[in-house]
Amino acid sequence: MPPLLLSQDYTVTLNGLPAPVAHAAASYDFLNFTMTGPVEIAITARDPDFWKNGVDVQPWRLGIRPTREGATLRFRLDHPAKLSISRPGDFLNHAQMLFVFATAPVPPAPSGPDVHILPPGIHTGSLNPKSGETWYLSPGSVVVGSINLWKVHNVQILGRGVVLYDGPQDPNDDQGWMQRPDWHCIGAMDAHSIQIDGLTCLVRSRTWSIQMKDSTGFLYNDLRVIGGNPGNANQDGMDWLGGGETIVRDSFFRASDDVFAMQGNWGGYSEAAMVKPGHEVDQILIEHSVLSTSISNIVRAGWPQKRYNSHHFILRDSDILHGGIGSCGLPFALFTYWGAHGSSGDHSDFTFSNLFLDNWYSLVQMQQRQPELYDFTFRNIWALGQPPLSSSLLSGDVRDIHFNNVKYGQQPVDHDSRMPLRVAQGAAEPAYASAPPLVAQFTVREPVRMPGTQVHLEALRQPQRHLRYTWFFGDGTTATGRRVHHRFPDALGTELDGDRTGAGSFRVLLHVEDSRHTDAAGDPIQDWAEQDLPVVARWHDALPGGPDQLPTAAGLTYQIYPGQWPDFPRFRQQVPMRAGIAATLGAADPGGFTRFAVVYEGYIDVPVDGGYRFAVEARDGARLFVDQDAVAATGPQFAEVCGSPNNAVRYAAGTIGLRAGLHHLRLEALETVSVGIPQLLWEGPALPLEPVPAAAFRHRDIPQVVGH
């Protein structure tokens, strides 16, 4: 492994043989290998405590759960896949992530008079193919530079090589938009009929990774793009500035901005550049891919003042690992069209279908003034594990928007409030499909689950015959059938993070498929459902006496600690300036203080014995303790971009086993940068994921002694 690619953070073996791990960009590493049969993978982190607090293997849809032996993870891979391996909740720009790319064997090098073969090794300098040429980058070859496709046609870039781009861009300013040779990992200007297969792009500077200007007829297959830079911005995955007619298939993107972005042109941020009319973007298909960004959108079209048209866009059959966080004008989303400040254009026929959302922020943000956005379809969108952190928006000249089987966990979205969605400024109400052709939904008979006990799961009966039911239990095992039995092996949960509380949640997935029929779009008729099932090894007993005997009253006590706290203070060393009783979270009276930390304390009334999963949402930070155990913490503050004064909403969840009755509760929150109250949600036996009601909060009612 050449020094400029050598990783120091992991060692990996494949079927017991060492495999080289390469450094990509920022704190990201990667591993490329081919497979012809099952592979046993062992990953050892340099830090012996690296996996101590859990492991996150994505896409979640694959149901991979490794075993952990100190600093080493082990799991089996039966088929080619593109994986992201990190620690739970660690997915922002400073995250330490390992990407594992397992592919089919490399096709042989072609031959012919216009074929150029790069052997293994370092090749300094960009590639500038001519029309009609084929370039084959052998496995182990590294191009330090760019691939420039400038006014060429009928070009092929094949093989399994790496392009390492680290350009001269200003790390503190956006210069990555420029249309120049040697300015992107792949840059195209007026290029047509291009095939790129098997390439890995590593982008270490603040620039757009792949940019195509007025170019058409591109086929990207098995592409891997990894971008990271300290500025964490202006590093899109792929951009179209006019043109289109592009297929992206079986690819992987980790970006530090929009993964895919469409504009008619881009000539800088001056007024004249912004209002200059751009060329149409048309006919884009992205499928069977794995997509991740530290901020921004998965797909973005439009920009304030921009004038162009776009049509016929499809994103389907793909996994969204991290769907952005924060806001720039509009909150980040799976799809954003930002039509503001005089922008205009006709945009239609966009389809998003069969998508799995792991970590994400909001679903859609669509804003346009003239002439209109119309005919947008969101079909089979399966959001796993968390609710939306920001509301969706339809605003202005927006119509014919269709939501067909959008689901959060097991719950379908069938009206605006469930999205939640705000319809404003004359936009038409969207259409929600009344009934999908089949429904994946399941029940679990046992409200209390412990390691080794038998659990009965049953899928909803469907009127169709010849359905296939496939279960992924979140512990690395699977089963088929409408009714199944399962025993969870431990209480660590899917992410191996349950040891701190003695309970963990397993991410159970059900896939139901009609193998004999397709829908109107030609897709297999299918549906998925997801539910986190707590498994408890250690119980927390309720306080003796219960709510009927303890002297308690409704609400929680609170204490206010004024200050511009960048992180949680050591509260025992601080003196609160205000205190009182709040009916619920967010109801504390800060007494005029606008920057403060607040501590809510009291009891939570648990209705029945069971494993409970608690989640906190906050902009500036929140952490939850139940019976003195740290259950969930949102992590460090993460600033929104584009001049926003706020922090982005953070989300964190944890599981604990509670007996029915009163339990100590303490929630600490910061309101030091952003305006917004913390949210506390729970789910448990017979309880869907929902905000904890005020009726569940109690505090110690101490009688007042009146002197004489």
Q: What is the mean pLDDT of residues 4-23?
A: 95
Name the residue type at position 377: T
At the fourth CATH level, the homologous superfamily of domain 442-536 is Immunoglobulins (2.60.40.10)
Exposed e or buried b per residue across 181-191, where buried means at least 16 C-beta atoms within 10 angstroms of its C-beta: eebbbbbbbbb
Judged against a pLDDT cut of 80, whether residue 308 lies above it is answered with: yes
Strand residues in 425-554 grouped as ranges (E): 431-432, 442-444, 454-459, 467-472, 478-480, 483-487, 503-518, 524-536, 539-540, 552-554
Mean pLDDT, residues 323-345:
94
Structure-block tokens of residue 650? 């953070």
**Residues above pLDDT 90, as percent of the chain:** 89
Half-sphere exposure of 248 (CA within 13 A, CB side): 27
Q: Which residue has the higher pLDDT, 636 or 43?
A: 43
Task: Please compute the mean of the pLDDT values over residues 222-242 and round it to a whole number.
Answer: 92
Mean pLDDT, range 110-116, rounded to an integer:
94
Token output for 646: 């706020």
**Sole residue written with tokens 């429904």:** 439
Domain 3-102 has CATH 2.40.50.140: no
Asked whether the beta carbons of 227 and 252 are under 8 A apart, the reply is: no
Query: Using an 8 Å Cβ cutoff, are 674 and 633 in contact?
Result: no
pTM for the whole structure: 0.96
pLDDT at 124: 97
Look up residue 53 and give its DSSP letter: T
Span 552-700: which CATH code?
2.60.120.1560
pLDDT (tens digit, 9 = 90+) per residue, 44-78? 999 999 999 999 999 999 999 999 999 999 999 99
Q: How many residues does the chain have?
A: 708
Work out the average pLDDT over 339-345.
Answer: 92
Tokens of 587: 């109801």
Residue 275: both structure tokens together: 């209002």
Name the residue among 346, 344, 348, 335 with its Cα closest to residue 291. 335
The answer, yes or no, to whether residue 657 has pLDDT greater than 80, is yes
The domain spans of the chain are 3-102, 442-536, 552-700
* pLDDT tens, residue by residue, 270-295: 999 999 999 999 999 999 999 999 99
Kindly give the pairing relationship between strand 134-137 and strand 327-328. unpaired
Nearest partner of 620 among 602, 601, 632, 633, judged by Cα = 633
Run of H or E including 274: helix 271-275
Predicted confidence (pLDDT) per residue in 148-184, tens digit: 999 999 999 999 999 999 999 999 899 999 999 999 9
The Cα 486–Cα 134 span in angstroms is 53
Helix residue spans in 377-535 (DSSP H): none
- The tens digit of pLDDT for each residue in 248-277 reads 999 999 999 999 999 999 999 999 999 999
Helix (H) / strand (E) element for 98: namely strand 97-103
CB 491 within 8 A of CB 575: no
pLDDT in tens, 495-518: 999 999 999 999 999 999 998 887
Query: What average pLDDT does the segment 323-346 reach?
Result: 94
Look at residue 708 and tell me whether its pLDDT is greater than 60. no
The whole-number pLDDT of residue 34 equals: 96
**Statement: residue 548 has pLDDT above 90:** no
Residue type, position 249, single letter = R
Tens of pLDDT, residues 401-446: 999 999 999 999 999 999 999 999 999 999 998 878 899 999 999 9
Counting residues of the chain whose pLDDT is more than 70, the rounded percentage is 98
Q: What is residue 162's predicted lDDT score, i.e. its pLDDT?
A: 97
Strand ranges (E), 250-344: 252-255, 260-263, 281-287, 290-293, 299-301, 310-323, 327-328, 330-331, 335-338
Pairwise CA distance, residues 202 & 254, whole Å: 10
Kindly state the average pLDDT of the residues 612-630.
97
List the 539-540 sheet strands across, edge first: 539-540, 650-658, 610-618, 679-684, 687-691
Residue 376 has pLDDT above 50, yes or no: yes
Average pLDDT score, the chain: 94
pLDDT of 547 reads: 60
State the average pLDDT over residues 86-95: 93
Q: In whole angstroms, what is the distance from residue 436 CA to residue 440 CA?
A: 10
347 or 705: which leads in pLDDT: 347
* pLDDT value of position 703: 53
Nearest-5° angle of CA 97, CA 100, CA 103?
A: 160
pLDDT in tens, 549-573: 778 999 999 999 999 998 999 999 9
Cβ atoms of 373 and 340 within 8 Å: the answer is no
Which residues pair with residue 261 across a beta bridge?
239, 300
Cα 501 from Cα 14, distance rounded (Å): 33
